Structure 1
Amino acid sequence: MRGRLCSKIGCAREAVATLTYDYGDRMAALGPLGRAGDPHAHDLCAAHTERLSVPQGWVVLTHDALAR
């Protein structure tokens, strides 16, 4: 059985991390795969995790398990 897939359109790789946003504080949080089905979270594969970029002025919080 295959795991969850990356949320990026056209990507069929297996997800390894979950990305969430806090728009009010201009933060993005990247961590291990979260609960499935959370409509406010985006699962990312390793390639998209490495290429993650956020708007200027935003902060990315990365969980130690995903040290980039």
Structure 2
Amino acid sequence: MCSKVGCAREAVTTLTYDYRDQMAALGPLGAANDPHAHDLCAIHTDRLSVPQGWTVVRHATLVS
């Protein structure tokens, strides 16, 4: 389930932050229930914005 308040869509990515390096990382859904990670649906993944000066790293899933 998406972590955004009021959103009931299925989560497709996990978002984590690295405040020291001013970076947000989006990747495949995490297996563990990490209280510092936020699962997002496709819509909220596409709409993600970060503070000015931050970097967004998007990790793709490899398909074999």
TM-score when scaled to structure 2?
A: 0.91
- Aligned pairs, number: 61
Tell me if the contact between 2:28 and 2:60 (Cα under 8 Å) persists in the aligned partners: no
Structure 1 residue 10 and structure 2 residue 6: aligned? yes
Match of 2:29 in 1: 33
Residues 1-68 of structure 1 mapped to structure 2, 5 A cutoff: 5-65=1-61
- SS where residue 31 of structure 2 aligns? coil
Partner Cα distance (1:8, 1:53) in 2: 13
- Aligned residues: percent identity? 77
- SS where residue 43 of structure 2 aligns? helix
Paired AA for residue 44 in structure 1: L
4+ residue runs of structure 1 moved beyond 6 angstroms?
Answer: none
What is the RMSD computed on CA atoms of the aligned residues? 0.8
TM-score when scaled to structure 1?
A: 0.86
